[in-house]
Each structure stands twice: as C-alpha cells, then as structure tokens.
Amino acid sequence: MITVTADTFRLAEVFTISRGSRTEAKVLTVKVMRDGATGWGECVPYARYDETLDSVTAEIEAVPADITRDALQNALPAGAARNALDCALWDLEAKQAGKRVCDLLGLPAPKPEITAYTLSLDTTENMEASARKHAARPLLKIKLGTPDDMPRLEAVRRGAPDTPIIIDANEGWTAEVYSDLAPHLVRLGVKLVEQPLPAGQDDMLAEIDRPLPVCADEACHDRGSLPGLKGKYDVINIKLDKTGGLTEALALKEKGKAQGYEIMVGCMVGSSLAMAPATILAQGVAFTDLDGPLLLAEDRDTPLKFDKAGVHGPEATLWG
C-alpha cells in the first residue's frame, strides 16, 4: 500500500530567491506499507520543473503498490515523485532487513558534514543584518540573481567579514552581468557561484573566464545531464528532488566525480525527512547545503541534529 499526504511547514522567516518568496514549505509525505513495515520519504514539488502538489501526487498514485526500487527507476522520470518513493523504499528495505540504509549500501554511518546556511534575497540593509546575525556559522549561502546584486554582496561581506561565502544566482544573471561581477566575487572571497545563467542558455560559460568555480544546479538533474555540462561547469549540485531519489543521486555522484566534477549536495526547502537520505550522499563532498530544517519554524517529530560539527545523520526513527 502506498499513501500520499500533503504537509505544510511554516518557515521561520520569509524566504526569497530571484523567482519569488514563500512563507511555508509545502511537501508531500509518502508511506509504503508492506508486511507490517512502513517506509517513508518526502519530496518538494517545484514549479520551476513544472511540478505541483497535485501533479506529483497523481504520479505517485499511478505507481503499482508492489513496485520495487529497481523497477521504479524506469517507471518514473527523475523528479519529486520518484524521489519520495525511492527514499521510502530504501527506508522500507532497511526496516525489513533490520539494518540501516548505509549498511545496505556498504557504506559507513554518515558523519557530520558542515552545511551552508542560506540568507535569502532581501534589501541591502536586511541582508547585512542577517549576515551579521549568522556570521558565526561556518558557511553562508547568499541568494542573489538581480541586476543590482553588488551592493547586496558588499553588505553581506560587511556583516560577516570572515565567513566563507557561496552564491546562488538561481539563473538570474546574464553573461555580461556575471562577467562584470566575477572579479568582485573573487575579491570578496566567494568560494563558489551556483547557476549564474539560465539552464539551456548557459553556453557562454564555456567561452568566458571562470575565475571561481561555477556550479550547475538547474542545469543538472541526473546522469543524463552530464554531457550538456562539459566545459561550462566545475561543480554539480545534486539534489534528491532533481535526481529522483537516492539511487540515482549516488550514481550521479560517482559518475560526476569520475568526469572531474566537484560535488555539492543541496536541497529544496523541506523538513528533516527530506534531508535525511541526503546526509548519506553528502559524505566527503566539496560543499553541503542541507539547511532546509534550519529555515523552518516547525519540523518532524525526530528532527536531524545540527551543531558546530554540521548536520548529523538521521536517527532510525526518522528515516533509514
């Protein structure tokens, strides 16, 4: 039996990127029940990829109740629906075997990984204040993506003069804007820039200077994305809701590394249940961005632990 429910988690603050703002995280919780055991997973349907709560629910409900994880990889495309089911089936397998998912994979238990903390797009004054408030965090991720980003970046650096910074433009720049900003990004100690140009309109990245690492986010979904990234990107951002689950995400990580890409593991804004499988994926990567639960005003009953060491792997009562 497979069930799908829509859940809403209030955000601690308004979260804004170049495409809009939100005050809550709307997710789907999927449960797969077989032989007295229940596996569960979470996905975050994303309008950028033409997903809605209703469309993803319909995809999940159309899947046979007895589907296997292997069969699922061909039954659904990469995306939120397959992610929730894939992660739920991993959780189910672990419970049925009396083991953790990392054991099933032949991997060590996940250790804490330092995660970025995201500052959303706002006025210059508010971003400086937010940066100052969070300056003690080990890594800040700054949402930009407008023609007027330089003052914002300068303000964040004033607020957090010593904190490592990565930037996510969410496809909001042109090649000209990025070329103008890039030297300043280097000057201000930015370690990485995510998706500066729109996916599908990013060929200029192969022709212009890239003085700091450029990460593919919206341009990278699964292993099928890799040929189109060659020569344009240095890093790939792997998110479970894009790959369609942990199974494909692990395969993408392996193939991406083999092709010379650094790896970032990111997330949509969801609960600890959505992040839990990604803690396995994030082991040993260059950048981890699993701060979704830190942005919420409420979370699952057994949330992930975040401390100075980073984000920890999940308790078995949460997932896996």
Residue of 211, 216, 215, 217 whose CA lies nearest to 189: 211
Candidate list 95, 141, 232, 239, residue with the active-site label: 239
Q: Measured between alpha carbons, how far is 121 from 277 in angstroms, rounded to an integer?
A: 28
What CA–CA distances, in Å, run from 265 to 22, 35, 69, 291? 22, 33, 22, 11
C-beta of residue 27 within 8 angstroms of C-beta of residue 272: no
At residue 15, what is the residue type? Answer: F
Closest CA to 277 of 137, 99, 140, 89: 89
User: Which position has the token pair 């970032």?
Assistant: 264
- Choosing from 141, 143, 232, 253, which is the catalytic residue? 143
Can you name the residues that pair with 288 across neighbouring β-strands? 265
CA–CA dist 310, 102 (Å, integer): 19
Tokens (6 digits) for 228: 């189109």
Cβ(177)–Cβ(199) below 8 Å: no
255 is catalytic: no
Query: Residue 127 and residue 143: Cα distance in Å, rounded?
Result: 10
b vs e for 89-110, b when ≥16 Cβ sit within 10 Å of the residue's Cβ?
bbbbbbbeeeebbbeeeeeeeb
Concerning whether 26 is annotated as a catalytic residue, the answer is no
Active site residues: 143, 239
